[in-house]
Structure 1
Amino acid sequence: MSLIVQKFGGTSVADVEKIQSAARKAIRAQRAGHRVVMVVSAMGKNTDTLLDLASQIGDDPPAREMDMLLSTGEQVSVALVAMAIHSMDAKAVSLTGGQIGMKTDNSFSKARIESISTERIERLLDDGNIVVAAGFQGVDDELNITTLGRGGSDTTAVALAAVLGADACEIYTDVDGVYTTDPRKLPEARRVEVVSYDEMLELASLGAGVMHSRSIEFAKKFGVPIHVRSSFSDTEGTMIVAESESTTQPVSGAAMTAEEARITVLGVPDVPGKSQQLFAAIAACKVAIDMVVQNVGQSGKADISFTVPRGELKTTLAAIDSVKVDLGASGVTHDDKVSKVSVVGSNMAAQTGVASQMFRALADAGVNIQMITTSEIKISALVSKQQSAKALQAVHAAFGLHQRPADAKSWSQIKAERGKADVQTLVDRLRADALEALTLTGISMTDNQARVTLHGVPDKPGIAADMFEMIGKAEIFVDMIVQGYDGEDGSTSVSFTVRESDLAASLKVAQAIAKKHGMRDVQGAGGIAKITVSGIGLRSHTSVATLLFECLAADQTNVEMINTSELQVNAVIDAAKANQATERIKKAFADSLL
Structure 2
Amino acid sequence: MGIIVQKFGGTSVADADKILAAARKAIRTQQQGHQVVMVVSAMGKNTDVLVDLAGQITSNPPAREMDMLLSTGEQVSVALMAMAITELGSKAVSLTGGQIGIKTDNSHTKARIQSISTERMRKHLDDGHIVIAAGFQGIDDDFNITTLGRGGSDTTAVALAAVLQADACEIYTDVDGVFTTDPRIVAEARKMDRVSHDEILELASMGAGVMHSRSIEFGKKFGVPIHVCNSASFSDEPGTVIGLHSESQDRPVSGVALTKNEAWISLADVPDQPGTMDTLFSKLGSVNVAVDMIVQNVGEGGKAEISFTVLESDLPTTLKAVNIVAKDLGGVEVTHEANVSKVSIVGLGMATQTGVADRMFRALADEAINILAITTSQIKISALVPRDQAMKALRAVHGEFELEKQPGDRAAFGNKSTVTLQPSPVDVVDRLQRMEDLTIDDIQLDETQGRVTVSQVPDKPGIAAEIFEAVAAEEIMVDMIVQGTGRDGLANVSFTVPMEAVSTATEIVRSVAAQMECGPVTSDPKIAILSVFGIGIRTHTGVGVRMFQALSRADINVEIVSSSEMRVNVVVDADKGPAGLQALQAAFADVIG
TM norm. shorter chain > 0.5: yes
- Change in CA separation of 1:499 and 1:401 when aligned onto 2, cut-off 3 Å: same
The one-letter code of the counterpart of 2:536 is G
| Secondary structure of 1:175's aligned partner | coil
| Secondary structure of 1:98's aligned partner | helix
Distance 1:444 1:97 in 2: 39
Residue in structure 2 matched with residue 54 of structure 1 by the alignment: 54
Q: 2:442·2:534 contact (CA, 8 Å) conserved in 1?
A: yes
The one-letter code of the counterpart of 2:173 is T
Residue in structure 2 matched with residue 429 of structure 1 by the alignment: 428
The one-letter code of the counterpart of 1:315 is T
- Change in CA separation of 1:208 and 1:362 when aligned onto 2, cut-off 3 Å: farther
- Superposed CA deviations along residues 488-547 of structure 1, whole A, max 9, x for unmatched, are x12221111122222222221222222111214222223311011112221222211211
Distance 1:51 1:413 in 2: 41
Distance 2:206 2:516 in 1: 32
| Secondary structure of 2:293's aligned partner | strand
Deviation at 1:134, TM superposition (A): 0.9
Alignment counterpart, residue 261 of structure 2, candidates 259, 262, 278 = 259
Deviation at 1:157, TM superposition (A): 0.3
Farther-moved stretch of structure 1 (297-306 vs 279-288): 279-288
Distance 1:284 1:583 in 2: 25
Describe how 1:98-117 pairs up with structure 2 within 5 A: 98-117=98-117
The one-letter code of the counterpart of 2:178 is V
Q: Residue 377 in 1 paired to residue 389 in 2?
A: no
Deviation at 1:109, TM superposition (A): 1.5
Distance 1:45 1:456 in 2: 52
| Secondary structure of 1:412's aligned partner | coil
- Change in CA separation of 1:329 and 1:113 when aligned onto 2, cut-off 3 Å: farther
Q: 1:529·1:575 contact (CA, 8 Å) conserved in 2?
A: yes
Residue in structure 1 matched with residue 249 of structure 2 by the alignment: 247
Residue in structure 2 matched with residue 541 of structure 1 by the alignment: 540
- Superposed CA deviations along residues 262-289 of structure 1, whole A, max 9, x for unmatched, are 1112221111111111112112222221
The one-letter code of the counterpart of 1:304 is I
- Change in CA separation of 1:359 and 1:425 when aligned onto 2, cut-off 3 Å: same
- Superposed CA deviations along residues 299-349 of structure 1, whole A, max 9, x for unmatched, are 211111111111111221122233332233522111111111111101111
TM-score by length of 2: 0.96
Deviation at 1:208, TM superposition (A): 4.2
- Change in CA separation of 1:207 and 1:424 when aligned onto 2, cut-off 3 Å: closer
| Secondary structure of 1:535's aligned partner | strand
Distance 2:285 2:14 in 1: 36
Q: 1:104·1:114 contact (CA, 8 Å) conserved in 2?
A: yes
Distance 1:509 1:409 in 2: 38
Residue in structure 1 matched with residue 509 of structure 2 by the alignment: 510
Alignment counterpart, residue 296 of structure 2, candidates 291, 294, 312 = 294
Deviation at 1:92, TM superposition (A): 1.2
Residue in structure 1 matched with residue 133 of structure 2 by the alignment: 133
Describe how 1:37-186 pairs up with structure 2 within 5 A: 37-186=37-186
Deviation at 1:114, TM superposition (A): 0.4
Distance 1:324 1:207 in 2: 35
Residue in structure 1 matched with residue 324 of structure 2 by the alignment: 322
Deviation at 1:427, TM superposition (A): 7.5
Distance 1:518 1:217 in 2: 45
Q: 2:269·2:331 contact (CA, 8 Å) conserved in 1?
A: yes
Distance 1:135 1:71 in 2: 9
Farther-moved stretch of structure 1 (438-447 vs 520-529): 520-529
TM-score by length of 1: 0.96
| Secondary structure of 2:545's aligned partner | helix
Deviation at 1:414, TM superposition (A): 11
Describe how 1:455-494 pairs up with structure 2 within 5 A: 455-487=455-487, 489-494=488-493
- Change in CA separation of 1:24 and 1:126 when aligned onto 2, cut-off 3 Å: same
Q: 1:454·1:514 contact (CA, 8 Å) conserved in 2?
A: yes
Distance 2:144 2:381 in 1: 42
Distance 2:429 2:331 in 1: 44
Residue in structure 2 matched with residue 216 of structure 1 by the alignment: 216
Alignment counterpart, residue 409 of structure 1, candidates 403, 408, 411 = 411
Distance 1:264 1:319 in 2: 13
The one-letter code of the counterpart of 1:571 is V
Residue in structure 1 matched with residue 553 of structure 2 by the alignment: 554
| Secondary structure of 1:192's aligned partner | coil
| Secondary structure of 2:181's aligned partner | coil
| Secondary structure of 1:379's aligned partner | strand
Describe how 1:184-195 pairs up with structure 2 within 5 A: 184-195=184-195
Residue in structure 2 matched with residue 274 of structure 1 by the alignment: 276
Distance 1:162 1:147 in 2: 19
Distance 1:580 1:79 in 2: 57
| Secondary structure of 2:277's aligned partner | helix
The one-letter code of the counterpart of 1:252 is S
Q: 1:527·1:576 contact (CA, 8 Å) conserved in 2?
A: no
Q: 1:193·1:410 contact (CA, 8 Å) conserved in 2?
A: no
Residue in structure 2 matched with residue 521 of structure 1 by the alignment: 520
Q: Residue 363 in 1 paired to residue 362 in 2?
A: no
Deviation at 1:52, TM superposition (A): 1.8
The one-letter code of the counterpart of 2:592 is L
Farther-moved stretch of structure 1 (177-186 vs 167-176): 177-186
- Superposed CA deviations along residues 441-478 of structure 1, whole A, max 9, x for unmatched, are 21110014221222221111111111100111233221
Residue in structure 1 matched with residue 563 of structure 2 by the alignment: 564
Q: Residue 397 in 1 paired to residue 399 in 2?
A: yes
Give the % identical residues: 58
- Superposed CA deviations along residues 111-163 of structure 1, whole A, max 9, x for unmatched, are 11000011111111111111111111111111111111111111110000000
Deviation at 1:207, TM superposition (A): 5.5
The one-letter code of the counterpart of 1:110 is K
- Superposed CA deviations along residues 375-400 of structure 1, whole A, max 9, x for unmatched, are 11111111111111111111111101
- Change in CA separation of 1:125 and 1:413 when aligned onto 2, cut-off 3 Å: closer
Q: CA RMSD in A?
A: 1.8
Distance 1:413 1:84 in 2: 29
Deviation at 1:15, TM superposition (A): 1.6
Distance 1:3 1:413 in 2: 16
- Change in CA separation of 1:62 and 1:321 when aligned onto 2, cut-off 3 Å: farther
| Secondary structure of 2:479's aligned partner | strand
User: Where in structure 2 are there 5+ consecutive unaligned residues?
Assistant: none
Distance 1:480 1:276 in 2: 22
The one-letter code of the counterpart of 2:132 is V
The one-letter code of the counterpart of 1:574 is D
- Change in CA separation of 1:415 and 1:357 when aligned onto 2, cut-off 3 Å: farther
Deviation at 1:81, TM superposition (A): 1.3
Q: 1:455·1:486 contact (CA, 8 Å) conserved in 2?
A: no
| Secondary structure of 1:337's aligned partner | strand
Deviation at 1:101, TM superposition (A): 0.4
Q: Residue 204 in 1 paired to residue 204 in 2?
A: yes
Distance 1:55 1:311 in 2: 19
- Superposed CA deviations along residues 218-237 of structure 1, whole A, max 9, x for unmatched, are 11111111111010122320
Q: 2:181·2:206 contact (CA, 8 Å) conserved in 1?
A: no
- Change in CA separation of 1:426 and 1:313 when aligned onto 2, cut-off 3 Å: farther
Q: 1:251·1:343 contact (CA, 8 Å) conserved in 2?
A: yes
Q: 2:194·2:413 contact (CA, 8 Å) conserved in 1?
A: yes
Describe how 1:570-585 pairs up with structure 2 within 5 A: 570-585=569-584
- Change in CA separation of 1:87 and 1:124 when aligned onto 2, cut-off 3 Å: same
Deviation at 1:192, TM superposition (A): 1.0
The one-letter code of the counterpart of 2:449 is Q
